[in-house]
Amino acid sequence: MYIRSDNGSEFVAKVVRNYLRDSGVRTLFIEPGSPWENGYIESFNGKLRDELLDGELFLHIDEVRYVVDRWRMDYNHYRPHSSLGYVSPVAFAATCVPSDSATPHPSEHTHQSVDTLIKGGT
Tell me the pLDDT tens digit for each residue of 18-75: 888 899 998 888 888 888 888 888 888 899 999 999 999 999 999 999 999 999 999 9
- pLDDT over 70, % of the chain: 80
The confidence score (pLDDT) of residue 51 equals 94
Main-chain phi, psi angles of 58, to 5 degrees:
-90, 135
